């Protein structure tokens, strides 16, 4: 196990990159702590898989270095890096039994059969595959095949990191949940560094201690699930995480205060400077019935535990989450934002000062 450092990583699939648009990864600097459970979250095409393949060594970065415990491994091939990777589609060796599949990475490294047997049984027991060991792997269901892929990653004791590249894509919905909690449990048992790539926020937030959010080849925020939810560092994070995502309203800054349609909006803290900016507030933090603003109810959707109310505020549409009953559509209601959880963004990035510092 090791700490993984990515230093000034850039990658382009174009051998002669011209502009920043040619780069799949733009300048990544990142530390992954030993034993952490990380999620790499972002929409398709944001560079997650590229980053993963660079860490595993399947891809050579155009620029920058990969360090395992401060040792430069940038030039090492995957099998010399002691890493494991689980792919989107289960990769199993059709001709072998489940046992032989799990034993394969060990046998390739010349581990003696007694150790192989012991280790395979231990992993099979963890993954609840022990009944299937003598069966040919080809005939198994997708979730069992994916468990075998995971098992091949876990079976080596000394792996530096185990990486999962959207491993639940082909798994049936009702089994997804089971495998996800299995994974979490496995992390607690083996304590290996794990990096989980996904575009699904639920998967990322339930699995990880730290979530790295990527967009267009850049890291926009790193934080715990709570931090990402409470105080997104970027409007993209606000949008991407949460359901529905954060409301973003255009505003004007005067003396560090936000003004929307001539109305002063109280925020967590002041921002510096004047001019155009945006207000970000989550639907959970909008209250109906009292407040300085007036909005018209456009649509109400009952999603079970609560109602999602769509409101017209000035020229903008916003969404609010309301626990109790909602007035009929067309009525005008007073609304208010929770000041402590209302942020100011400029150029997409957070601009309001956090409350602690303002105090």
Task: Answer yes or no: are the C-beta atoms of 253 and 214 closer than 8 Å.
Answer: no
Q: Which residues contact 227 (CB under 8 A, 6 or more apart)?
A: none
User: Which CB sits closer to another protein, 95 or 329?
Assistant: 95
Least Å from the CB of residue 51 to another protein: 15
Q: Which is closer to another protein, CB of 57 or CB of 269?
A: 57
| Spatial separation of the C-alpha atoms in residues 10 and 23, rounded to whole Å | 7
Sheet containing strand 332-337, strands side by side: 316-322, 307-313, 286-302, 332-337
Q: Minimum Å distance from CB 190 to another protein?
A: 17
Structural contact between residues 32 and 3, judged by C-beta atoms closer than 8 angstroms: yes
State in angstroms the smallest separation of the CB of 138 from another protein.
8
Cβ pair 236, 220 in contact under 8 A: yes
Contact call for residues 240 and 213 (beta carbons, < 8 A): yes
Q: How many residues does the chain have?
A: 359
CA 111 to chain centre: 36
Question: Residue 302 in contact with residue 286, Cβ under 8 Å?
Answer: no
- Compare residues 151 and 242 and give the one whose CB is closer to another protein: 151
Question: Is the CB of residue 306 less than 8 Å from the CB of residue 322?
Answer: yes
> Measured from the CB of residue 96, what is the shortest distance to another protein in angstroms?
7
Binding site for another protein (CB under 8 A): 53, 56, 58, 77-79, 83-85, 87-89, 91, 93-96, 104-105, 108-109, 139, 149, 152
Q: How far is the CB of 155 from another protein (least distance, A)?
A: 10
Q: How far is the CB of 88 from another protein (least distance, A)?
A: 7
């Amino acid at each position: 196990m090791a700490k993984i450092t990515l230093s000034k990583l850039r990658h382009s699939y174009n051998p002669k990159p011209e502009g920043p648009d040619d780069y799949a990864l733009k300048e990544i600097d990142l530390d992954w702590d030993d034993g952490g459970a990380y999620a790499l979250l972002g929409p398709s095409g944001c560079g997650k898989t590229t980053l993963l393949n660079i860490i595993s060594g399947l891809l050579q970065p155009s620029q920058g270095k990969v360090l395992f415990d401060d040792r430069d491994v940038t030039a090492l091939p995957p099998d010399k890096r002691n890493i494991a990777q689980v792919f989107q589609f289960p990769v199993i060796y059709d001709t072998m039994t489940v046992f032989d599949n799990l034993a394969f990475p060990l046998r390739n490294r010349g581990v003696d059969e007694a150790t192989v047997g012991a280790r395979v049984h231990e992993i099979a027991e963890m993954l609840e595959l022990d009944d299937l060991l003598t069966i040919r792997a080809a005939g198994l269901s997708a979730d069992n095949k994916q468990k075998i892929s995971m098992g091949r990653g876990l079976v080596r004791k000394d792996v530096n990191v185990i990486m999962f590249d959207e491993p639940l894509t082909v798994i049936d919905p009702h089994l997804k949940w089971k495998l996800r909690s299995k994974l979490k449990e496995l992390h607690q048992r083996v304590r290996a560094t794990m990096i989980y790539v996904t575009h699904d926020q639920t998967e990322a937030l339930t699995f990880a201690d730290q979530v790295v959010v990527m967009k267009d080849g850049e890291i926009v925020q790193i934080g715990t699930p709570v931090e990402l939810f409470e105080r997104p560092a970027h409007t993209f994070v606000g949008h991407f995480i949460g359901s529905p995502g954060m409301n973003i309203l255009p505003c004007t800054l005067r003396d560090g205060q936000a003004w929307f349609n001539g109305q002063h909006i109280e925020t967590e803290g002041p921002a510096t400077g004047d001019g155009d900016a945006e207000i970000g507030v989550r639907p959970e933090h909008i209250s109906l019935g009292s407040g300085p603003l007036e909005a018209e109810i456009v649509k109400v959707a009952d999603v079970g535990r609560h109602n999602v109310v769509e409101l017209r505020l000035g020229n903008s549409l916003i969404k609010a989450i309301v626990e109790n009953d909602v007035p009929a559509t067309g009525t005008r209601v007073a609304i208010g934002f929770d000041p402590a959880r209302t942020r100011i963004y400029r150029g997409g990035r957070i601009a309001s000062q956090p409350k602690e510092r303002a105090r």
